[in-house]
Amino acid sequence: MNQKYSDDVKQRVLNLFQSGEPVSSIVSVTNIPRSTIYAWLKQMQNGQSKKEVSVKNFRLLENRVYKSKAGTAADFSHGPRI
């Protein structure tokens, strides 16, 4: 049976693998064919994995960058040191 899995399911499976879970365990828990999981891993390794960023996640990342830059920007707020 050729089943289409959601991007969320695919990402969860890839995250499990990246966290050290063996493919055999992922197969037994999810009932996703081993060949499908290996195809996803191959796509990820080739950089073909389509990773869409939601607006919410983009804003969260944007805030993290802003906050990290704010900490370093404060170090230079008094002008250049000569």
What tokens does 59 get?
């804003």
**Which residues are CB-neighbours of 35 under 8 A, at least 6 positions away?**
none
> What digits encode the pLDDT tens for the residues 43-66?
888 875 455 566 777 788 888 888
The DSSP letter of residue 2 is -
User: Which structure tokens are listed for 65?
Assistant: 């960058």
| Predicted confidence (pLDDT) per residue in 19-46, tens digit | 999 999 999 999 999 999 999 999 888 8
pTM reported for the whole predicted model:
0.54
